[in-house]
Amino acid sequence: MRDRGEVAFLGSGSYRWHAMAPLIDVDYADLTDAQLDDAILAGRLRERVVDVSEETVLARRRRGHQRLHELTLRNYAGCCAVCDIGDRQLLVASHVVRWADDFDARGRLDNCLCLCQPHDALFEYGYWGMHDDGSLIVRDPIPWRGIRVLLAGPPRFRMPQSHPPAPLFLQQHRYRHALGAR
């Protein structure tokens, strides 16, 4: 079933059934920006083709990623969710669950946080994570003062206008980095 994309692997032998709502395959169709945005906002964009060597598929996927990036920045009012950086060149759509781990999480806005590059890197490597309510968990101890400064406080996570990070995805991130067992 996993190979057919009907279930998602969560690690530790657990699986989750995919939602039954019709999904839109970005790999097979040339969608307009508006169609891509609608699909992303409805949580229905999906990447299916495993072999991405085909140039058309890659191009379609890239457009999907660009829209997801754009909608993520918009959702967080063009600002990093944990600091005041609003320079678009420094902002990324940071994925809570890594793309390789869950196909269905790829096109989902509730798997994307708008973060500046430093906070994105620190999130990706598990220096910080979040409880379901958005309170930050900071790894302790952190031997480098430069990193401690970036996570001092700790900063408050500003929830987005819509599509807040899904508890299931945050849980997977905490689990992967052994953060905040509570």
- Dist CA 106 CA 104 (whole Å): 5
User: Cβ of residue 39: shortest distance to Zn ion, in angstroms?
Assistant: 28
For binding to Zn ion (CB under 5 A), which residues are involved? 80, 83, 85, 116, 119
User: What is the number of residues in the chain?
Assistant: 182
User: Cβ of residue 88: shortest distance to Zn ion, in angstroms?
Assistant: 13
User: Cβ of residue 179: shortest distance to Zn ion, in angstroms?
Assistant: 18
Does 155 sit behind a cis peptide bond, omega within 30 degrees of 0 on the bond before it? no
Whether the Cβ atoms of residue 111 and residue 97 lie closer than 8 Å to each other: yes
Helix (H, G, I), strand (E, B) or coil at 181: coil
Q: In terms of CB distance, is 24 or 82 closer to Zn ion?
A: 82
Q: In terms of CB distance, is 10 or 90 closer to Zn ion?
A: 90
Q: In terms of CB distance, is 116 or 147 closer to Zn ion?
A: 116
Q: In terms of CB distance, is 4 or 145 closer to Zn ion?
A: 145
Q: Where are the alpha helices (DSSP H) in 42-140?
A: 55-75, 117-124
User: Cβ of residue 5: shortest distance to Zn ion, in angstroms?
Assistant: 34
Closest to 115 (Cα-Cα) out of 145, 160, 146: 160
